[in-house]
Structures are given as C-alpha cells and as structure tokens.
Structure 1
Amino acid sequence: MRTLWTKWTEKPFAWPLTLMGVILAASAVGFVSCESGTQQEPVGLFEGLWWAMVTLFTVGYGDFVPRTTAGRLLGMGVMVSGIGLVSTITGSFASTMVERRAQKRRGLLPVSAEGHILIMGWNGHGALLLERLRRMPEFARSPVVLAADMEPARFEELSETLGLGSDLSFVRGDTTQKAVLERTNPAKAKLAYILPREDVPPEESDNESVLTALTLRSLAPRVTLYAEAMRDVSREHLTRAGVTKALAREELTGRAMAFLAAHPVMHEVLGALLAGGAAGSLRYRALTPEEKSRRWPEIVKANLEQSGQLPLAACRLPRELKLSDVLDASQALDSYIMELFQAAGKDAPLGSRGPKVVLNPGPDADLSAFDGLISLERGQ
C-alpha cells in the first residue's frame, strides 16, 4: 500500500487531484449538514457531492442553492479554490503530455509494439533492408522499432526518408545494454536484425554486435535473429552468441561476383530474386506428409497447376540430434543402449545438425528426410 502511495505522489498532478478529492468530500458533507432542512428536495450525500462538483467547476446549474449563511460561505470557498485548482490540474496534464511526447521523440520511452521488426543499430544498408522487408506481404504491415545510439534530430530525418509514419518507433541508447533493449519489447518481436556500425573499426563493430546478440538472447531467447558481420571471422562468434544466421559482407560480395561468371545477365537474375514483394520472390513452406512420399517431378507439376509457384529446392531445417536419431530400435544392441539412457533419465543429445538445401533434387530423391520447400512465386 505504501509503495502504491509513493508511486502516486511522484506524479506531477497527484497532489492537486488529491486536494480536489478532499475538497469535494468535505464540501459534500458540509452541504448536507448545512442545507438538509432548507431544500425542497431531500438532500443526501450524493446531492451534496453533486452540488460540490458543479460549484467547484463553476458550472452553477442552480438546482441546489445554499440558503443558510454557513452554506453560502462554504459555496464561496469552493468556488475560490476551484478557480486555481482546476487550472493547476489542467496545466499539469498538459505539461505531462508535452513531456511524454518529447521523451518519445528522443527515444527514451518503452514501446508497446507487438509483432514488430526490431532493428538494432543502423548503417547504410538499413534503409534498403526495410524497403525490401516492407515489400513482402507478411511484413508489409509490421511496425518497425529502431534501437540505436543516434541523435533525435538524425532520427527525425531518417523517419521522413523512410516514410513509415507511426509504424516507426525509436529507442535511443547503447544496444549492448539490457535497460535499452528492454524498452524495445523484444520478446514480442516477429523478427530482429543487428546492423553493425560503420563509423568504428570492423573488429570493434563486430564485438558490439556480439554483445548486442547476447543481451537480446537474455531477453528474447526465441525470436529469430539475423546479424551482419563486418568480417567473415566474426560469423562464428555471432552464432555462438545466439544469432540465428550471420551474414558477412565479404562472403556476400564474393558469391555475388562469382555468380556473374556464367553471364553478365546473372546480375539481373540475382537482383530479381532478391527484390522481394509478392511476384517473383522466393517463399518457404513446410512439406506435407503426402508430399514427402511423392517424387520431385510430381510436386513440381502439382504446385505449378495449383498455385503457379515453381519449386526450386527441398530443404531440411536445423535440429538437435538425439541418440534415437542414430540408433536403430529394431537392433538388439541399439535397443539396449537406448534403454540404458532412458533408465538414467537422460535425453542423450548429440549436438545439432545444420540446415541443408538441395536445388532441384531430381526424380530419384527421397523427400522424406526434408522439412520444407523453396518455391518461386509467379512473375508478372
């Protein structure tokens, strides 16, 4: 109870509101005591409170008028106190709203967004990243929360450039600090990205990204997290810090340039695949149990006829390997080993198995070992 009272009294309008409540209660009781026998209607506590309210706010309906000297003196006191008290409360509310807007503009308030895209840090790739994400149907209406140590004026310029309006929120501060990331509501985010700084040496920038990933994982262990590494050697550190997938600029540039070796037009092909949007973009979906038992040409034909999507690859998602995945329960020795582990109450994890993608698996491929399908949307 004392804690609630302490929090209440810290608000700028707490004391004026408390004083108003005391005046209303005392005036209601005083009116009933002074005027209960002078009015044409019965006067109870509710009628007294009604009279106190219309008098305090100087409305003056006139349905209850003090007839005794004491009642009139009470009314004069209520009217005089109401003039200053109401303006004080109005000013306090207005001041609080202005201050709150200023704090929001400076990125000092926590955001209440859910299902948002969380961007931690900012660099020259940020605007293009958001543009591509907003083209995708599943992210077209997702709010964006930017957490970065940038000046409010810089964010105002960036906000106008991105044109996201109220869909863009700002949290200012060092993203390696837990108190800063807590304001971004990370556990409710749909997707998160770490963009490295470009105004510091690459090694220092990647170290900050690792610390940001560790901090985020302590707050949101399940959110999908991607990160860009300035150096290829930093990818492993980012993965150990909890990043779902880390991409290196060196790797992406090298692969893109090698992709052009077949023909210069491959640059346009790569650009079309990465453009995003509904038409001509890549999509993932899970394979159904029925599809896992079918042959690849049958799946390609069925998808083209039903949805117009062209299957390009079968993929296997990363997963934790267990003893049951490598032992055959039908073999006596393997069965005995599994029983020993089960009796000991151990799950016997053997590590993790990474993802696997097979482009155009062919008619003889066994699809039962795959989890999903990568397809190309119909172009326009």
Structure 2
Amino acid sequence: MPQHIYYSFIRLPLVIRTLLIALMVIFLFGGLIHIIEPSSFPTFFDGIWWAVVTASTVGFGDYYPKSTAGRIVGIALIFTGAGFLSTYFISLAAAAVTRQNDFLEGKIEYRGQNHIVVIGWNERSREIVNTLGGDGMNHSIALIDETLKSNPVPHNNVHFIQGRSNKDDVLVKANIFDAKKVIITADQNKDELHADMNSILTLLTIKGLNRDVQCIVEILTSEQAANAKRAGADEIIQTNVLTSFVMINSISSQELVTSFLDLLGQLDKRKLTFQPASEEVENKTFAELSADLMKDGILLLGVKRGEETLVNPPQPFKILQQDQLIVILG
C-alpha cells in the first residue's frame, strides 16, 4: 500500500508534488511549534500561521519562538519550508510559461464547440480567418497547419493546432467531433494534383471521425472534383475555374471584370445565403416574391431546386415549397 501511494505521488505534476510537500512541511512545523511552545502559540492555527509567514520569508513578527528548542524549529523551517515554497512558485511560473508556449506552438487541444476548423495556411485562409474573426462575426476558429511553427494570428478566437490535417490525433486536438464546419484549403506547397489528393485524404479522415460535419473543400483540378464529391464534400470550390472565368472575361470586357470584382467586394460586407421556401411563398412567381423580399432589403438572385440551380429563371416561374431561395441579406 505505501508503495502504491508513492508511485501515485510521483506521477503527479511537479507543481502539485512541490505544493503538497510544502504544505506537509508547514503543517508539521506548525504543529511542532504549538507543542513545544504552547504559551507563545496557543492554538494549532497560530502555529500554522507562523509557519506560513516564516517559510515565505514575510515574517510579520506577531508570533515568534522564545525558547531555544522553538528557535531551532524555526531555523529548520527556514532551511526546508522556504526552499520548497520558492521551488513551488518557480515551478508554477515555469508551468505557466510552458503552457503559453505550447498554446502558441499549437500543442494544446481545443475544447470549444460549434467552431469552424480551417485547414491550411495561405492567403485564402488568412482572409477567411480575418473575416470570420472580425467585427460582427467573431466565430471561434481552430486553425490546422503543419508548416507553421506558431500561431500566425494569435487572436482570442483563433486556436492553432500544429500537425498534419489527415492524422486522427491532430483532428481530435481540434475537437472535430463538435465542429460546426470545416474549410479545407489547397496546400500551396504541392503541385495541383497532389494538393487535391491531400485535400481529399484529409476530407476522408474528417468524415471518418465525424460524418455529419459540413465540409467545404477547395479543389484545383477539374478531374478531382468528382472524387471530392464521392469522399463526402458538402461544397466544392474550384478556385482555378473562378480565376479562369475572371481572366477570360477580362480579355473581352475590362468593364465586366471590374464590375464583377466590385460585386465581390460588396458581398464581403453582406451575406449570400440559402433560405428555404415557406408555405406562404409557395406558388408565387419569382417576380412577385422578388418584389416582396425587396421591401425587406433582401435581394433574390435565384432558386436551387434539387441539384439544379436557376439564377434569374425565365418567367413565369412559380416557387415550390421544396425550393431553396438564393438571397443576399442587406
């Protein structure tokens, strides 16, 4: 039994062990001085109080030993208790600094819920993090990257996890089980095909741990988009297709591209989203519903019906209850 207690004790963190030893020393000497000099230390608590202020080198002087035996106890307490208390506070400070460094270096697991996991650090993810963590949004974010050595944006709502995103233990550190959404950006250090394969492997690992979490995946090559869909991607962003669209249209019409980029800048301050069609709007035409929504400052762009997305559908077009409305909220 004593051996079991000893092994349990040495497994405790250094700070806890040092504190327990310091407390035992204080209680031992506090009780001993009360026994030796009951006239100077009438109660056990008086002895404890004297032991604390003596070991901490404060020395108020309200209680002090008068006999030779009592002073010998005081000397022994100074040599032992002061050392243990100093060691405790030094260990406490060192533990605090170590934990802070571990937090900045991405070694501490995230314990929050309903957060957004962003995978990969590049200019796209920088913009995502700055926007999601900016004024008015303040989403909690867990950022995963294996190339960074420390948190690139040490805001209060950005928790950095260092490691490979396709490893279970790294995703568990990011608390993937309670995440609301995952954004997987393409690895800028790999060629396009290998970056897509890495993104799909990460997606498969995430879905294996949490099948229900919504995953938005950046895909660079068109042939890998189908594989990402099979792997469980809820949304696929083909950035090269979007870039090609802008560049091709810039050849024929500079004004169109400028307007398109201005539109993206405007949307950055607003919210483009889907809204389910309610029973009240069923059988209304697209034009009628668009006019009604405009009164509330909502712009109706189109309708998603099943797998088909219709932007500004041809009139007359009636809304069905199972439709999803594509709107811009003011």
Q: TM-score range by the shorter chain?
A: 0.7 to 0.9
CA distance in 2, matches of 1:7, 1:201: 52
Partner of 1:62: 61
1:373 aligns with 2:325: yes
Mapped partners of 1:180, 1:6: distance in 2:
29
- 1:145 is aligned, of 138, 142, 147, to 142
Report the aligned-residue RMSD: 3.3
Deviation of residue 217 (structure 1)?
2.0
Deviation at 1:165, TM superposition (A): 3.5
What is the match of residue 80 of structure 2? 81
Aligned pairs (5 A) from 1:36-75: 36=38, 38-39=39-40, 42-43=42-43, 45-75=44-74
The counterpart of 2:197, out of the listed 207, 212, 215, is 207
Q: Distance in 2 between matches of 1:60 and 1:253?
A: 73
CA distance in structure 2 between the partners assigned to 1:230 and 1:3 by the alignment: 59
Q: Is the 8 A contact 1:58 1:82 kept in 2?
A: no
User: Are 2:158 and 1:168 aligned?
Assistant: yes
Kindly provide the amino acid, as one letter, of the partner of residue 71 in structure 1.
G
- Aligned equivalents of 2:238, 2:61: Cα separation in 1: 77
The residue type paired with residue 14 of structure 1 is I
Pairwise CA distance, 1:235: 1.5
Contact (CA 8 Å) 1:292, 1:370: kept in 2 or not?
A: no
| 1:250-289 matched pairs, under 5 angstroms | 250-256=240-246, 263-275=253-265, 276-279=267-270, 282-289=272-279
Paired letter, 2:90: G
CA contact (8 A) 1:20 1:85 kept: yes
Aligned in 2, Cα 1:226/1:85: closer, same or farther, shift over 3 Å? same
Partner of 1:145: helix, strand, or coil? strand
Identity of aligned residues (%): 23
Structure 1 distance, partners of 2:285, 2:314, is: 8
2:284, 2:319 within 8 Å by CA — same for their partners in 1? yes
Structure 1 pair 309/134, CA: closer, same or farther in 2 (3 Å)?
farther
* Cα deviation code 1:39-81 (max 9, x no counterpart): 4x841x3333223222221223333333444333222221222
**Structure 1 residues 224, 99: CA separation in 2 closer, same or farther (over 3 Å shift)?**
same
* C-alpha separation in 1, matches of 2:252 and 2:322: 29
Q: Residue 165 of structure 2 aligns to a residue in which SS? A: coil
* Cα pair distance change 1:359/1:78, threshold 3 Å: same
Following the alignment from structure 2 to structure 1, what is the Cα–Cα distance between the partners of residues 199 and 323? Answer: 31
Amino acid in structure 1 at the alignment position of 2:280: E
Which ranges in structure 1 are unaligned for 5 or more consecutive residues?
317-353
Note the 1:1-380 alignment, pairs <5 A: 6=8, 9-36=11-38, 38-39=39-40, 42-43=42-43, 45-131=44-130, 133=132, 137=136, 140-152=137-149, 158-159=152-153, 165-256=155-246, 263-275=253-265, 276-279=267-270, 282-305=272-295, 307-316=296-305, 355-361=307-313, 364-378=316-330
Gaps of 5+ in 2: none
Deviation at 1:300, TM superposition (A): 1.7
Please, which moves more after superposition, 357-366 or 189-198? Answer: 357-366
Q: Tell me if the contact between 1:225 and 1:243 (Cα under 8 Å) persists in the aligned partners.
A: yes
Q: Deviations over 1:327-372 (max 9, x none)?
A: xxxxxxxxxxxxxxxxxxxxxxxxxxx5432223466434234343
Contact 1:191 1:223 in 2 (8 A): yes
TM-score by length of 1: 0.74
